[in-house]
Amino acid sequence: MTENPLTVPDMQFEVSYTPSTIKIENEELLESLIEQTTEHYSNQVFKFDEENVAEAKQAKTDLNKIAKMIDDRRKEIKADYSQPLNTFEEKMKRYVERIKKVSDDINSGIKLFDESEKAIRIEKIKIEMEKIAEPLNIEPEAIEISTSWINKTAFTTKGEVKGKILDEIHDKMKIVAMQRSQIAADKATITDYAEIAGLDPYAWSGLIDQGWSVADIREKIKQAVEDKRRREQAEKEAEAERQRKKAEYDAAIAEMEREKAVETNQGTLVDPETGELIQAANNEPSVPMTEMDDNPTMTVTLQLTASRQKLANLNEYLVENGISVVPVQ
Does position 126 have pLDDT exceeding 60, yes or no?
Answer: yes
Tens-digit pLDDT profile for residues 132-143: 999 999 999 999
In 3-state terms, what secondary structure has residue 50? coil
Q: How far apart are the first and last CA of the chain?
A: 150
- Average pLDDT over every residue of 275-304: 55
pLDDT at position 288: 46
The alpha carbon dihedral of 259, 262, 264, 265 has a sign of positive
Cα–Cα distance, 64 to 207 (Å, whole number): 88
Does position 247 have pLDDT exceeding 90, yes or no?
Answer: no
Residues constituting the chain: 329
DSSP state of 10: G
Tens-digit pLDDT profile for residues 202-234: 889 989 888 899 999 999 999 999 998 999 999
Which H or E element spans position 278?
A: strand 277-280
Cα–Cα distance, 150 to 115 (Å, whole number): 11
Alpha carbon of 159 to those of 12, 47, 121, 145: distances in Å?
A: 41, 94, 8, 18
Cα–Cα distance, 267 to 282 (Å, whole number): 8
Proportion of the chain above pLDDT 70, given as a percent: 79
Q: Which residues are paired to 263 by β-bridges? A: 269
- Average pLDDT over every residue of 46-70: 83
Cα–Cα distance, 184 to 179 (Å, whole number): 9
**pTM recorded for the entire structure:** 0.49
| Strands laid side by side in the 277-280 sheet | 262-263, 268-270, 277-280
Which among 65, 67, 45, 64 is positioned nearest to 55, based on CA atoms? 45
β-strand pairing of 262-263 with 268-270 = antiparallel
